[in-house]
Amino acid sequence: MKAKIGAAVLATAAIAVTFAGPAQAETNPRCPSGVTQIGDTKYIKNGGATVASVKQFKGCNKNWGYIYVWDSWKAGHSNFVATVAITRGDGEIDGNSGARGQQEVWSRGANTLQFCTMAYGTVSGGGAGFTEERC
């Protein structure tokens, strides 16, 4: 009986891990009233592994970029730098880099709500990617 219960617990845990994404706080420290994600999440991949998620948010009358380096990639790559920025396609606006090994980084807010913008994220040694453009 114990073996069947143990197997059921392991199977349930495996399913939970399969559907659970990486834990992401997504609390912007520079916008206390809160932010709302605009557009889809971009996943930076390298060699079949997901390195990071890049998102664009709006809040506090600004656009914000956000990057989160996944636990699974970070576990084998401690010497990376994550960077995120808002761009209008004609150059970076209000980018920000984290400290070496920092998993979560917010851009500085960009006064670009009247423009079409994208978030651009990079992870040194892991790759880069743009979110979709949002107007």
* For the chain, domain boundaries: 26-130
State mean pLDDT over 46-62.
Answer: 96
- Of the given ranges (9-13, 102-106, 113-117), which has the lowest mean pLDDT? 9-13
| For residue 15, pLDDT beyond 80 | no
Confidence at 8, pLDDT banded by 50, 70, 90: very low
Across residues 112-116, what is the average pLDDT? Answer: 92
Note the pLDDT of residue 72. Answer: 96
Q: What is the DSSP letter of 5?
A: H
- Looking at residue 7, its pLDDT comes to 43
- Least confident segment among 14-28, 30-44, 73-87: 14-28
Report CA-CA distances (Å) from 109 to 21, 63, 81: 26, 6, 20
Residue 17 confidence (pLDDT) above 90: no
- Per-residue pLDDT of 57-92, as tens digits, reads 999 999 999 999 999 999 999 899 999 999 987 776
The predicted structure's pLDDT at residue 90:
74
- Position of tokens 């651009």? 120
> Mean pLDDT over residues 9-16, rounded?
39
- Scanning the chain, the segments in alpha helix (DSSP H) are 2-19, 71-74
Nearest to 85 by CA among 50, 49, 129: 129
